[in-house]
Amino acid sequence: MKKYKLTLLGLAFVPWVATAQLLPITQLPDTIVDQLDRSVNRNAERLQELKQQRLIEQQLQKTLAIKAQLLDPLVQLPSVLPILDTRKQLVWNEVEVELGQRAVEREWLLLLSENQWRQVLEVMPALSQYVQTRKKLTSLGVELIKLQVPESLDNKHMLRQQLPELLAPYLSRNFIYQPQIQATEAPVIAPKAAIVPADNNVPAAMCELPISLGMVDTAINPKHSAWPNMAERFALIQQHFLPESIPLSYSHGTAVAGVLAGDSEELVPLLPSLTLYSAGAFYAQNKYQQGATLDSILQALNWLVAQQSRVINMSLTGPDNPVLSEAVTRLIAKEVILVAAAGNGGPAAAPLYPAAYDGVIAVTAVDDSNRLYRWANQGEYIDFAANGVKVLTARADGSIGRESGTSMATPVVSAKVACLLASSPTLTLAQVVQQLQQQAQDLGEPGKDNQYGYGLLTRPLKTGL
């Protein structure tokens, strides 16, 4: 090939030959092309499935979050709620504190031994001027000190700074706990013909053994027609842990007792031979709701242990705190079994206590078709489910009606635990839970899950497992 040298305006140009930089095209076999097409299609389909799954999960999370916020209007309490005595005098203010929790205004609790309290006073002698009460919880082996502090100290961080480092964790607000039953506007007195079960559906008792059981709740109406055999088969022993000037509330405790011992044309008792130790800790917040201070609950638990109550029903929930946690730990060490409501906060709600503590049996609620109660809490701490939706039970006004909530499911499990211990008194907590697992009907995902726990427990107690 010739080369040409051209000159233009003093610039020299040398022509050159360009070479192609493309790879030669090779025809692929049809089988390989088909395989590539199928692989591309599969990847595209998988990507679309993942996108759809992600959208579904996002929508589910939004739905659960919205559902958790759809609280019954009856549970909306004011930020400051005065609690009055029978003369309409202020006893304390119930207030909303951090994280939306409720507590007695400026009241704090310390759960210490006498020696530990002396250590506190050595470091902060001025703290003694804030002491309202000091009560020995002999059954728990500690002393309960209640403080009322000025606003300048009404803060966990500020108070803990004043305490010895080792004792600071034993401090808590005097939190308010609530029963876990669906509020109703008025008692519903159903016609007997509408609520008497068919003969083939009459539930059996959990067991016929003589049972002793404790519960922390409201007071119980002792004159209700649902327990006509009080002298023979139902013994009710009540003790109240509220200031005498505060009117007693009867609604929730009567409903729980109705599940345990109600015996009438409409009701079949879980425990037909029952001694029930009822520790009244709840006061009326309004016409439909009740609250219990942590102070009252601790005193109630101490009394129940003194009555030799091995099983304690706690159809109540509230916040986690070191004082309640320490009390639960001491009870478990004494082989006391706590059965507690999982809570009615909704499927996206945070865990509630005492049910979420290790060693406490947490109970959720289902309806007659084994569907989970729509307001039931969910989580790893759920242990068992029981019927707790539209449960026929006693009402404080003397009527019979239906109630819903994890509160109504809890006594079913408490009754089963009490029957197990009555037949085998040496069972440990771990052995009791193991036996309950054997009696549970698995619901939801196979094995233990966050909705039903190990499964559904029903009456009667199964024997020979």
Which residues contact residue 145 at a Cβ distance below 8 angstroms, ignoring those fewer than 6 apart?
109, 110, 111, 112, 117, 131, 133, 134
Read off the DSSP letter of residue 242.
Answer: S
**Annotation says 224 is catalytic:** no
Cα(163)–Cα(120) distance, integer angstroms = 6
Catalytic residue of the set 172, 212, 240, 252? 252
**Burial class (CB within 10 angstroms; exposed 0-12, middle 13-18, buried 19+) of 171:** buried
**Annotation says 217 is catalytic:** yes
E strand residue ranges, 113-200: 131-137, 142-148, 171-179
Residue type, 346: G
Residue type, 433: V
- Exposed e or buried b per residue across 428-460, where buried means at least 16 C-beta atoms within 10 angstroms of its C-beta: ebeebbebbbebbeebbeeebbebbbbbbbbbb
Catalytic residue of the set 154, 172, 217, 224? 217
Read off the DSSP letter of residue 425.
Answer: T
Which residues contact residue 94 at a Cβ distance below 8 angstroms, ignoring those fewer than 6 apart?
77, 80, 81, 82, 83, 102, 103, 104, 105, 176, 285, 291
Rg of the chain's alpha carbons, rounded to an integer? Answer: 32
Q: Give me the sign of the Cα torsion angle 78, 79, 80, 81.
A: positive
DSSP string, 371-389: PBPTT---STT--EEEE-S
The tokens of 163 are what?
């305490």
Cα(72)–Cα(375) distance, integer angstroms = 10
**Burial class (CB within 10 angstroms; exposed 0-12, middle 13-18, buried 19+) of 27:** exposed
Helices and strands counted in the chain (H then E) = 9, 20
Question: Nearest-5° angle of CA 138, CA 248, CA 185?
Answer: 130
The tokens of 298 are what?
């601790």
Question: Are 296 and 146 contacting, i.e. CB atoms less than 8 angstroms apart?
Answer: no
Q: Which long-range contacts (C-beta less than 8 Å, at least 24 apart) are formed by 230-238?
A: 233/263, 233/272, 233/273, 233/274, 234/261, 234/263, 234/269, 234/273, 234/274, 234/276, 235/274, 235/275, 235/276, 236/261, 236/276, 236/278, 237/275, 237/276, 237/277, 237/278, 237/307, 238/278, 238/280
Read off the DSSP letter of residue 65.
Answer: H
Catalytic residue of the set 172, 315, 404, 407? 407
Dmax (CA) of the chain:
129
Catalytic residues: 217, 252, 407
